[in-house]
Amino acid sequence: MLRDVKCDVVLVSSAPVTLPMAALAYLRRRKIPYVYVVYDMDPDRAVALGIADPHGLPVRALSWQQRKWLHGAHTVVAIGRCMRDHLMERYEVPPDRIEVIEVGADAYTVRPLPRNTKFRRENEIDGFIVLYSGNFGKYHDFDTVLDAAKAVWSKKPSVTFVLVGRGAKKEHLQTRIATERIHNVKMFDFVPEEDYADLIASADVCLVTLEAGMEGLCVPSKFYSILAGGRPTLALMRAKSEVAYAVDGEDIGIVVELGDSGQLAKTVLQLTTKSEELRVQGDRARYLFEARYTSDIIAQKFEATLSKAAAKNSRSL
186 in any annotated domain = yes
Q: How far is CA 266 from the centre of its chain?
A: 25
Mean pLDDT across the stretch 143-154? 96
CA distances from 302 to 69, 82, 101 (A): 19, 19, 8
pLDDT of residue 230: 97
42 in any annotated domain = yes
Across the chain, how many H-helices and E-strands are there?
13, 10
pLDDT of residue 316: 45
Write the CB contacts of 130 (distance below 8 Å, at least 6 apart in sequence). Answer: 159, 160, 161, 162, 203, 204, 205, 206, 207, 234, 268
pLDDT at position 19 over 70:
no
**CATH number of the domain enclosing 161:** 3.40.50.2000
203-250: pLDDT as tens digits:
999 999 998 889 999 999 999 999 999 999 999 999 999 999 999 999
204 in any annotated domain = yes
Q: Which domain holds residue 21?
A: 10-104+295-310
76-93: pLDDT as tens digits:
999 999 999 999 999 999
Q: Quote the CA–CA distance of 244 and 167 in Å, as a whole number.
A: 23
Q: State whether 90 and 130 are in the same domain.
A: no
168-181: pLDDT as tens digits:
899 999 999 999 99
pLDDT of residue 27: 67
More confident residue, 33 or 195: 195
Domain count, the chain: 2
264, 270, 159, 258: which is closest to 213 by C-alpha? 258
Write the CB contacts of 30 (distance below 8 Å, at least 6 apart in sequence). Answer: none
